[in-house]
A and B are shown apart, each in its own frame.
Chain A
Amino acid sequence: MAPVTFLEAIKQAMFEEMERDPAVVLLGEDVGVYGGAFKTSEGLLERFGWERVIDTPISESAIIGAACGMSYLGLRPIAEMQFIDFIVCAFNQITNFVAKGHYLWGAPAPMVIRGPSGGGVRGGPFHSANPEMYFVHTPGLKIIYPSTPYDAKGLLKAAVRDNNPVLFFEHKFLYRRIKEELPAEEYTVPIGKAVVRRPGKHLTILSYAAMMHTSLEAAENLAKEGIEAEVIDLRTLLPLDEETILQSVKKTNRVLVVHEDTKTGGIAGEIAAILCEKAFGDLDGPVLRVTGLDTPVPYAPTLEDAFLPSAQKVFAAARELARY
């Protein structure tokens, strides 16, 4: 099997799930004839027809609302946000309607909301967002943010089969930049499980999405200096896999969290709090953060590069942490 891109993995996941289960439908802006702004749904209309691949008006609240209504009749809609930045147009529909239904009145909403997110592609302030933490703060949702084609496919398939509303973030920097050979046979990846991408003993780097690759690059360079960093890919942000994190800390006693999202209110702060509560005695140094700046994502390449964490910044922070 030839290696496939992240994009192709997403497409395969949707195709296979729609093929497997006629309850799975896709709706969003330009997902039909055009095949999606990034061509993630190319070919789905031809295969599954107009009723299952629905081009919608530019109405994010309507897309989410309708997907929710469909899920109440047992369908498993995938709602695409053309860019994940626009998900906030449907914020109320997601946080108040979709997320609270099961807790309040026992109405499961088996639906997936997915779309391209993240920066590094010169998309400017409204096409580069990482809005995951608005939703990590919302009980009732599951939040997935994968970093490899294998995970993207397996987790998206698991998300479609989950009985809860799942937000699935696809880092668009990765769409065409990484390739991976995928198993010929069918597989899913469990939601809520982190994975150790690189074992190490001197410190733990926790990351996800595009920054996972940045962290791996930094770890490579750290190894040349004799610092063995353990890199963990969180994959799911909600519910967070505390167990894998705590196990690693027991071994390394130092933690660096790397994410592209802004620093204030980013998941690094939450992880730091969890470590203080549950692993204080295991820590030999402060929990450090390398994150995006507390600003919107700027447009000019020089500015965006300054905004984004880099392998150099991760390397510097890790080296500082290793001194403890």
Chain B
Amino acid sequence: MKIELTRQQHLDLYYYMRLNRAVEDTMGKLFRQNKIVGGLYASLGQEAISVGTAYALEKKDWLAPMIRNIGALLTKGVPPRDIFTQHMAKYTSPTFGKDGTSHFGDLENLHIVSPISMLGDLIPVMAGVALAGRYLGQKIVAMTWIGDGGSSTGVFHEGLNFAASQKAPFVLILENNQWAYSTPVRKQVPLADLADRAKAYGIASYIVDGNDVAAVYSTAKEAVERARAGEGPILIEAKTMRMRGHAQHDPAEYVPPEMFEYWKKRDPIARHEKFLLDEKLLDAKGKAEIEKKIETLLEKDREFAENSPLPPPELAAEGVYCEGCHAPKPKWERPIAEVTPPRCSVEAVWQVEGFGRGKDVGLATTPLHFEAAPAAKPAKAAAKRPARKPAKAAAKGKRR
């Protein structure tokens, strides 16, 4: 599936990448002025991934960012002032100063789940979001990101495997920026392509040049629509390079300088800008307008953040429990009667013969969301003699 981008889409991608970088540049200055309370994590050189993937989502879709996905937040509609106030721990921030960085969310409007610092935890959470959306008939897709480093966590495996076993409409972006803090990817994972991890879960995967925003977008768009159509989770490995240290304090001296040089020439923004100018989708005047728009916006939002107060100390003791401040309610996009007993709404796709026999579930067998291993007979035969090609034999299992 080849996805052609319109001029406006190309320009949108350019705008959000520029906005992403400008927001982080502004925060770099604020950091040096000691106005950022905690750490500052740069996504320099990785903007195409955050922006290109999030741009593939619809308004109703859900995302959960990681620390280097401020671009995804901006693309989903978060105003820069939320990013500034978060980093400056201001009372006006989405978390009222209770957490920093990209650790905030919006369940109601933008459909953003807040990350935590423990890597991989978002994967089962977003699988749950995807399943709930499917159950409620919302036809949504859930998306989150993980780094090359985070892909080694146990919960990465648990979450992706569970999502796969449920065929959840879930897209996982694996940002391979080649460094987990100071540890190069080759010391973490014995795989040339981290996309190969998808094979373990029987799900589809893509590899994309993470510094080519149009490629990232069209790949993500295809994955999102496949997931929405019910094909199950999809893993996209976006290959890129972390152009700064782990955080502001880290000069990244462990990275070979020639590696930075190599990737500097592949800067995603410069690359897309050249494309736009070459194809005459953008001219000097248009570029200046975009720059002016961003400058004005950030100036206003930065001032707002700087002039905002820190939270009052009394706030520390508040909000541990929901005591009537929220009224969580599902938004049904399908007739509730469909799920009201005694009816069961899931169709059997593939089945294990005989499993669940004797249970009055309205179906003779259990529906499974993935291609099942061959039932009783072939499995028995395989058990008798040593399986020569067990993987192949299983793969041949018939769809029923």
Query: Which residues of A approach B to under 8 Å, CB–CB?
Result: 18-19, 22-23, 25, 32-33, 45-52, 54, 56-57, 59-77, 92-93, 96-97, 100-108, 110, 139-140, 142, 163-164
24 contacts between A and B (CB under 8 A): A32-B366, A46-B359, A49-B341, A49-B362, A50-B346, A51-B344, A52-B135, A60-B158, A65-B121, A65-B124, A65-B125, A66-B127, A69-B124, A69-B125, A71-B328, A73-B132, A73-B331, A74-B132, A102-B319, A103-B98, A105-B95, A105-B99, A106-B325, A107-B105
Bound complex: CA A62 to CA B128 (Å): 9
Closest chain B residue to A65, Cβ basis: B124
User: CA A105 – CA B132 in complex, angstroms?
Assistant: 21
Task: Mark B106-123 against chain A: 1 for CB-CB distance below 8 A, else 0.
Answer: 010000011010100101
CB pair B95–A49 under 8 Å, yes or no, is: no
Partner of A74, one of B154, B328, B336: B328
Which DSSP category, helix, strand, loop or mixed, fits chain B's interface?
Answer: loop
Is residue B126 contacting chain A, with contact meaning CB distance below 8 A? Answer: yes
**CB-based closest 5 A-B pairs:** A69-B128, A65-B124, A49-B344, A66-B128, A74-B330
| Cβ distance A25 to chain B, nearest Cβ, rounded Å | 7
Shortest CB distance A144–B (Å): 14
User: A22–B340 contact, CB under 8 A?
Assistant: yes
**Which size bracket describes the interface of B in this complex?**
35 or more
A57 touches B161 (CB 8 A): yes
Question: Given A62-B162, A106-B319, A139-B320, does the pair A49, B98 have CB atoms closer than 8 Å?
Answer: no
- Whether B124 lies near A62 (C-beta < 8 A) is yes
CB contacts (< 8 Å) of A77 on chain B: these are 128
A136 to chain B: closest CB distance in Å? 13
Residues of A within 8 A of B341 (CB): 18-19, 47-49
Partner of A72, one of B132, B319, B327, B346: B132
Q: Are A45 and B336 in contact (CB under 8 A)?
A: no
How far does the Cβ of A262 sit from chain B's closest Cβ, in whole Å?
A: 26
Q: Are A49 and B361 in contact (CB under 8 A)?
A: yes
Q: Closest chain B residue to A74 by CB distance?
A: B330
Q: With an 8 A cutoff between CB atoms, is B233 at the interface?
A: no
Question: CA A65 – CA B126 in complex, angstroms?
Answer: 8
The chain B residue sitting closest to A102, CB to CB, is B322
Name the residue in B126, B322, B341, B344 with the highest tally of chain A Cβ atoms < 10 Å from its Cβ: B322
Given known pairs A47-B341, A48-B341, A50-B346, the reply for A73 and B129 (CB within 8 Å) is: yes
Q: Which residue of B lies closest to A23 (CB)?
A: B330
Verify if B308 is at the interface (C-beta below 8 Å from A).
no
Q: A49-B341, A104-B98, A108-B328 are in contact. List 10 more A-B contacts (CB 8 A).
A: A62-B162, A66-B125, A70-B132, A72-B132, A75-B135, A92-B155, A93-B124, A103-B320, A108-B322, A110-B328
CA distance A106 to B98 in the complex (A): 10
Residues of A within 8 A of B342 (CB): 46-47
CB-contact partner of A101 in B114, B136, B366, under 8 A: B114
Interface status of B103 (Cβ within 8 A of chain A) = yes
B232 at the interface (CB under 8 A from A): no
Residues from chain A with a CB closer than 8 A to the CB of B113 are 69, 72, 107
Q: Which residues of B contact A102 (CB under 8 A)?
A: 319-322, 326
Given contacts A74-B328, A97-B116, A97-B121, whether A62 and B127 have CB atoms under 8 Å apart is yes
Q: Are A107 and B116 in contact (CB under 8 A)?
A: no
- B217 CB-CB contact with A under 8 Å: no
Contact present for B125 and A163 (CB under 8 Å): no
Query: Are A92 and B127 touching (Cβ within 8 A)?
Result: no
Note all chain B residues with C-beta closer than 8 A to A46: 342, 359-361
Q: Are A33 and B366 within 8 A (Cβ)?
A: yes
Q: Bound state CA distance, A295 and B336, in angstroms? A: 50
Cα distance, A94 to B220, chains bound together (Å): 31
Contacts of B138 in A (CB 8 A): 73
Nearest CB of A to B331, in Å: 7
In the docked arrangement, what's the CA distance between A93 and B320, Å? Answer: 17
Contact at B128–A140, with CB atoms within 8 Å?
Answer: no
Establish whether residues B359 and A45, one from each chain, have CB atoms under 8 Å apart when the complex forms. Answer: yes
Of the residues A45, A56, A92, contact of B121 by C-beta under 8 Å: A92
The yes or no answer to B254 lying at the interface (CB within 8 A) is no
Q: How far apart are the CA atoms of A93 and B156 in the complex, in Å?
A: 12
A118-B367 Cα distance, complex, nearest whole Å: 35
- Does B343 count as interface, using CB distance less than 8 angstroms? yes
Q: Which residue in A32, A47, A66 is a CB contact (below 8 Å) of B124?
A: A66
Choose among A25, A96, A106 the residue that contacts B326 (Cβ–Cβ < 8 A).
A106
A73 to B99 alpha-carbon distance, docked (Å):
22
